[in-house]
Amino acid sequence: MESTWEFDTTVGAGSEIVTVVYEYSSDEDGTYNESIKEIWYQNRSVNVIGLLSDEAFKELECEAAMRFQHHKLNFKQTSDIQP
């Protein structure tokens, strides 16, 4: 099952705010095929995924992977609580 998760961050020398759409697949064993699908600028008016340098994209991929792992840990902790 494919899903997406989004977060805001800054990129570039001007620290412009962008929205990153992170795509992943999941099954009973966990998540896999995690990658950046889109990078939006100015409230989703411009998709800038192809405008980043290789270095900037790799840095953003690392940040996205770390944030997603943190998100999964926090989501698991809150979803495992039984009323």
> What's the pLDDT score for residue 44?
87
Residue written as token pair 């099952």: 1
Q: Is the pLDDT of residue 53 over 60?
A: yes
Contacting residues for 6 by C-beta, under 8 A, at least 6 apart: 19, 20, 21, 22
Q: What are residue 9's DSSP bridge partners?
A: 18
pLDDT of residue 30: 86
Question: What is the domain range of residue 36?
Answer: 2-79
Residues 38/52, Cβ–Cβ less than 8 Å: no
pLDDT tens readout for residues 20-31: 999 999 888 888
Q: What's the number of domains the chain is made of?
A: 1
- CB of 44 within 8 A of CB of 23? no
Stated length of the chain = 83
Identify the CA nearest to 52 among candidates 63, 44, 61, 65. 61
